Structure 1
Amino acid sequence: MTEQQQPTADTHDVSWVLNRLASSNGVEHAVLFTSDGLVLAHSEGLHRDVADRTAASSSSLFALGRGVGEFAPTPDGTTPTPDGATPRKIIIDLPGACVLVFAAGHNTVLAVSVSAEMTDAQVAVASADTIKAIKGLAPVLAARERTLTS
């Protein structure tokens, strides 16, 4: 008897989760991608080219976040390893908009575009909705390790 594998974002369509997030007040788009920048799913209305560029840029931001992690000591007073720690969230505050980039599941990152500045209540609501979706669906939002084949 074969063991059934847990569904993950790289084996199942999870765009419904992103469409649901994108229907939240102020949320324009959502894209789920692997930590190395491969798009797994994106919300309706977001052009695939934009999703690809967002994934590539945002995965780079997460890598930078890990790199500067050693700059910020942990609450217990220890210093993280030189590789740093994986960021939980990165906020990009733009004029009139905000991009929230979250660690989603194992090997995945979720970017959400909000049509409001960081100080607006809509950003807090979008952030809370995104965190709720991630907590509820983290195993499904994961991606398996990719291996190189020759």
Structure 2
Amino acid sequence: MSEFPHVTADTADLRPQLNALLGDGVVSAVLFSSDGLPLAGTDGLGRDEMERSCAAFAGIASLQDAFADCCRTTPENLLMRYQIMDFTRYTVLLFAAGRNSGLGVAVEGDSISPNVQLTLSKALKLIKALGPFLAARDRQFPTRV
């Protein structure tokens, strides 16, 4: 029997996949763990910027538990898919990207701009493509073959 290491979002370089989101108004993107730690970011983001952004995104994502009361349901019935935060000249998108991770994307333009609509579609496709890497983060032990 030999052990093969699992390639996960923690061990793979996912910067190229995130960089594919750049353009069409996308300023930056970060992939983060549910505890706010950075997993990957687009080129041009410094470590401090990534850490602050990831912590903020994780904090916002954690609000789903608080909103369950407002919706008169339980947190299990209120799982976030994505959130749109519309600022004056930028839109920030927050996606659930796996059980214990998320994707944050900053886009130039308001929430109804073509840039944001295109980015929503591209980000959802990216999350689907990264599914195996993100799901592997939950594994505790390597599989023996």
TM-score of the alignment, normalized to the shorter chain, above 0.5: yes
Give the letter for the 1:46 counterpart.
L
**Under a length normalisation based on structure 1, what TM-score does the superposition of the two structures give?**
0.83
Give the letter for the 2:55 counterpart.
A
Quick one: distance in 1 between partners of 2:50 and 2:110? 21
Aligned twin of 1:76: none
Quick one: distance in 1 between partners of 2:106 and 2:6? 29
Structure 1 counterpart SS, 2:132? coil
**Alpha-carbon displacement from aligned partner over 1:10-66 (angstroms, at most 9, x marks no partner):** 0111111111112x3111101001011000110001122111111001100010123
Tell me by how many angstroms 1:136 deviates. Answer: 1.8
Quick one: distance in 1 between partners of 2:68 and 2:135? 23
Q: Which runs of 5+ in 2 are unaligned?
A: 141-145
Structure 2 counterpart SS, 1:8? coil
Aligned twin of 2:54: 55
Structure 2 counterpart SS, 1:100? strand
Q: Which runs of 5+ in 1 are unaligned?
A: 74-78
Quick one: distance in 1 between partners of 2:79 and 2:66? 9
Asked if the contact 1:105/1:143 (under 8 Å) is kept, the reply is no
Matched, 1:68 2:61: no
Tell me by how many angstroms 1:121 deviates. Answer: 1.3
Asked if the contact 1:105/1:139 (under 8 Å) is kept, the reply is no
Aligned twin of 1:100: 93
Matched, 1:122 2:115: yes
- Cα gap change, 1:54 to 1:60, in 2 (>3 Å): same
* % same residue: 40
Matched, 1:18 2:42: no
Tell me by how many angstroms 1:85 deviates. Answer: 3.1
Asked if the contact 2:110/2:116 (under 8 Å) is kept, the reply is yes
Tell me by how many angstroms 1:102 deviates. Answer: 0.4
Asked if the contact 1:42/1:51 (under 8 Å) is kept, the reply is yes
Give the letter for the 2:127 counterpart.
I
For 1:16-55, list aligned pairs within 5 A.
Answer: 16-22=16-22, 24-55=23-54
| Aligned-residue RMSD, C-alpha | 2.2
Asked if the contact 1:31/1:112 (under 8 Å) is kept, the reply is yes
**Under a length normalisation based on structure 2, what TM-score does the superposition of the two structures give?**
0.85
Quick one: distance in 1 between partners of 2:24 and 2:117? 11
